Amino acid sequence: MAEAITGQLGDGMERAIRSIEASRGRVIVTGMGKSGHIGRKLAATFASTGTPSLFMHAAEASHGDLGMVTPDDVLLALSWSGETAELSDIVHYARRFAVPLIAITCNADSTLGRAADVVLALPKVEEACPNGLAPTTSTLLQLAAGDALAVTLLERRGFSASDFRVFHPGGKLGARLLKVADLMHGEDSVPLVARGTPMSAALIEITGKRFGCCGVTADGVLVGVVTDGDLRRHMSGDLLSHPVETVMTASPLTVAPDELASAALGLMSRTQITVLFAVRDGVPVGILHIHDLLRAGVI
């Protein structure tokens, strides 16, 4: 594959990408047998990375599923030999209605290869199967070629982690893509006192909001934080009469609301802290506890 991509396969990849980018519809992936199973996976990968796509079973296409295909779509057909009989009606349909057809095959001179607008000519290799029969190496190459198309389209469209999360809201992957704003406690829950506040009032704020700390602001901007550790370090008989700025830790670590929650967890782990203030332009807008991240499944 590495050698082929510098030649005919690479040219085909670039043409295929331009064809998909120029379309106003979807990528309709089709195939039969093991190629069909690979095609189904590729359709899912395209769809989840910003390229609308669906899988059409090659055998069912001749019995009404060709109605899925519109002139605005692009057909992506997988066949190692290029002579899969079930693809015949799909090829005729593509040619009749001028639907762009991309072929992934090892035989550019096959029926499918000659009919296609673009051919991704995979290198002819032996199967890993000891009998040389079961699709193994061939399906791996088909998968690699299709994934390369999907990732290239993703990159050229600037598909971000935020975009990715729209299509992956569930499971561990969805949790990893949550943002701080999705999990933080809002402004009414944020423990805050102004610079100059006596520690007696700060302790009431810390106790009432139950995060084990409070932020210190000056003109609305977060300038420090008072934690349990700060209290222990400054413990004295007249502690409650001290102004909060004499006890606080200045320039505390913060996180932006738009930051990924996984990044916030990484910061907490590296610095061994359990709470982060979320700030926007220096102004505290929320607070995030490590328990919020663990409950959401962020790891």
pLDDT tens digits along 119-150: 999 999 999 999 988 999 999 999 999 999 99
For residue 8, pLDDT beyond 90: no
Helices 33-48 + 137-156 axis angle, to 10:
20
Residue 4: CB partners within 8 Å, gap ≥ 6?
10, 121, 122, 123
Q: What is the mean pLDDT of residues 26-42?
A: 97
Residue 245: CB partners within 8 Å, gap ≥ 6?
195, 196, 216, 223, 224
Give the DSSP letter of residue 85: G
Residues 243-259: b if buried by 16+ CB within 10 A, e if exposed: ebbebbeeebebbbbeb
pLDDT tens sequence across 176-223? 778 999 999 998 899 999 999 999 999 999 999 999 999 999 999 999
pLDDT at res. 156: 93
For residue 172, pLDDT beyond 70: no
Q: Which of 205, 228, 224 is nearest to 279 (CA)?
A: 224
Judging by DSSP bridges, how do beta strands 213-218 and 221-227 pair with one another?
Answer: antiparallel
